Amino acid sequence: MSIDVDLSGFVRQTDDGARGIDFAIDGMTCAACIVEIEQAMKKIPGVEKARVNYSNSRLALGWKDDALDPALAVDQLRRMGYVAHPFELAEAESRDAEHAKYLLRCLAVAGFAGMNVMLLSVSVWAGNISDITPETRDMFHWLSALIALPAAAFSGRPFFTSALAALKRHALNMDVPISLGILLALGMSLVETANHQHNAYFDSALMLIFFLLCGRYLEQMMRQRTRAVAGNIAALRSPLAARVNADGSVTQVPTARIVAGDVVLVRPGERIPVDGSVVSGSSEIDESIVTGETRQCAIGEGAEVFSGTLNFSGALKVRARAVGSGGFLDEIERLLENAASARSHYVGLAERASKIYAPVVHVTAAATLAGWLIAGASAHDSIVTAIAVLIITCPCALALAVPAVHVTASGALFRAGVLLNGGHAIERLADADTVVFDKTGTLTLPEPRVANAHDLPQHLVECAARLARSSRHPLARALAQERPMGAPYDGAREEAGAGVMADVDGMEARLGSAAFCGLDVAAMAQALDEGASAICYRRGNETAVFRIRQTLRPDAVATVEALKRRGYAIEIISGDSAAATQAIGDALGISSCTGGAKPADKVARLETLKAEGRKALMVGDGFNDAPALAAAYVSLSPVSAADVAQASADAVFLGENLAPVAHALELSRVARNLMRQNLWIAVIYNSVAVPLAISGHVTPLIAALAMSGSSLIVTANALRAGAGADKDRAPHQPHARASENVRSNAGAVA
């Protein structure tokens, strides 16, 4: 059966006459995939460029031959085991990428100019207490002005434009006093230089811009990464669907053109593009985006399937039931949007402080100017005093109070195996009082393991694992991991949907289903317990049944116990069966367990907890967990989680252990306390420094030094967050022995 594919709507044309197309790639597992894909694409006649971005799982192809059909790339990738979906870059994502480049350029200019001006300033400071001549000092000041003014005009634009926009709305934000402080410091430095004064403050203005831009750029990069991952949700929609026509021919059409009642063909390795029912064919599908369970489900005629699920072994014909805005993926997106909207009202400590701080700074500086003029001081002295007040109250300490802790705590969390996705994650984690776990891939390891490998003859395990290396079936991959260094047998042959066979020392060995291996299907089914899958092996009279299941993370018991001791309420809510969920709950000592939960059920439970006044941390890994991760007060997902789950979570934790969840909660509480301390330091500093500046006892130079000093104090206090992380990890080390015991017994409870 031939299939016509039309990708012309996704092809873009560049200014030099070349053509290109972007694909979202499903199936990349490591950086080695980059070389493999790029080399394969460049072998297609006519392809001039093939570039893979591993971080967002995308492939960019370029060519100049008008006759080249990009569908050749899709077919080649499918034969290699990858699934490619045409991708169009969203306008919002493109805008985020451009803004990140813009901030980086501003940051580079501010840093380079600031270093050069600082070198000139050091010479002036040293000369002022030795033998520098006025002419030399003026020359250095003018050189500083020549560097600083254009550099500040360029690199300060993010603050200037934000401040101007706020003023146009008749509002004040943190960028208004920052911009005013920068402009006045530069202006006063220029006037002082023209009047041959000893001091100028060009370096202070540039370094202020540089440090603030560092925080802006890091925040933008986190936002851009989240946007890029979220954009790949569109790939799950299968933008093209193979519609079966009345005459039996098949045509690839945009999924949006499929209507209820149409029949679509889904080949092995493709995602099902619509919600519907199977009218012919049988296969195994991955429903993890629906249930969270990674085990493949066998389906046949009449089975209900959902859009986004992955078809493994056989071709299916599916009659569309729900398309457009009625499908499963659309329901997921709707839940995500609602959850994100509900969380957008959160206001952090720094934001709450800035609402009060910005107007107070301006009122104080204006009152100082008016007061000195009324007292009879000259305009020059009154302006200098007012500028000193503005400089000394410039919100450096306040602007650094929270970001400095964020940076330090983020580094400490990284060392503990936690990567932050959002700026408010630390404050939210510190407030959490309830932890809600998903089961599969969260409390258990993401990849299934062989539970009875140690109970079977090891030469048999060796042979079966090597045979498994010739199959792409998920159960075979789990078995192959028992002997990761084993080489596949030469001449192995795989029968789709049945198993794989090879000649081993003159005798045929088989690995696959019970029927394929000639074993009693009914007896094998009775021997399996809840949650286990089986893969059979036979070579002559030697037979074995490998039980494959999810196993608990090594330190799951110890981590749950530690969370309980700290006073957290613990729950499990999973899309897996109630019996399997309860078994995990019993093993971990968690009494509140809910199984068979759909994405909306998880969101509803979190809303109930919120109504009870509790602040829940959701920990999940699946596509079906994404709405709950977005709806929770705060959320974590493992690094093995689905891309959309990671994008929806506030943070991602690394490795096979669950301990980073406990580390993140404890360290966040330490960090929140340091944020509050820093805000109080900024308040106390201003309470002492502002009256001195208002009274005229502080020169602009002393004000600049005091401003820098307060920033250093705040930064030094923030560094304590790193020490808190190392201290926090120590109490969990004694549980290592218990964790190993859990690993050995996990097969009995998972």
Closest C-alpha to 236, from 292, 306, 147? 306
Q: Which residues pair with 450 in a beta bridge?
A: 548
Q: Which two tokens stand for residue 110?
A: 């501010």
Instruction: List, in order, residues 6 or more apart from 622 with CB less than 8 Å away.
Output: 288, 289, 292, 438, 440, 441, 575, 641, 642, 645
* Catalytic residue annotation: 438
List strand residue ranges (DSSP E) for 550-643, in order: 569-573, 593-594, 616-619, 634-638
User: Distance between CA atoms of 607 and 628, rounded to whole angstroms?
Assistant: 10
CA distance linking residue 255 with residue 118, whole number of Å: 60
Residues pairing with 271 in the sheet:
310
**Is the CB of residue 704 less than 8 Å from the CB of residue 118?**
no
Would you tell me the crossing angle of helices 659-694 and 556-565 to the nearest 10 degrees?
40
Q: Rounded to an integer, what distance in angstroms lies between the CA atom of residue 490 and that of residue 673?
A: 62
Residue 724: CB atoms within 10 A of its CB come to 20
Three-state secondary structure readout of 402-415: HHHHHHHHHHHHHH
Q: How many residues does the chain have?
A: 750
Name 486's Cβ contacts closer than 8 Å, sequence gap at least 6: 462, 465, 466, 469, 480
- C-alpha to C-alpha distances, 572 to 157, 345, 498, 600, nearest whole angstrom: 48, 27, 36, 15
- How many whole angstroms separate alpha carbon 176 and alpha carbon 362? 9
Q: Decide if 617 contacts 417 (C-beta within 8 A).
A: no
Both tokens of 662, joined, read: 């406990």
Alpha-carbon distance 727 to 671, whole Å? 13
Which ranges of 615-699 would DSSP assign to H, the alpha helix? 626-631, 643-648, 659-694
Q: What whole-number distance in Å separates Cα of residue 641 and Cα of residue 410?
A: 20
- The set of long-range contacts for 131-137, using a CB threshold of 8 Å and a minimum separation of 24, is 134/196, 137/196, 137/198
- Give residue for tokens 């066998």: 298
Distance, in Å, from the CA atom of 197 to the CA atom of 191, rounded to the nearest integer, reads: 9
376 torsion bin: left (phi>0), alpha (psi -120 to 50), beta (else): left
| Distance, CA of 275 to CA of 261 (rounded, Å) | 11
Beta strand pairing call for 499-504 and 507-512? antiparallel
472: tokens are: 């792409």
- On whether the CB atoms of residues 114 and 212 are closer than 8 A, the answer is no
Task: Report which of 627, 652, 626, 628 is spatially closest to residue 640, judged by C-alpha positions.
Answer: 652
**Identity of the residue numbered 317:** K
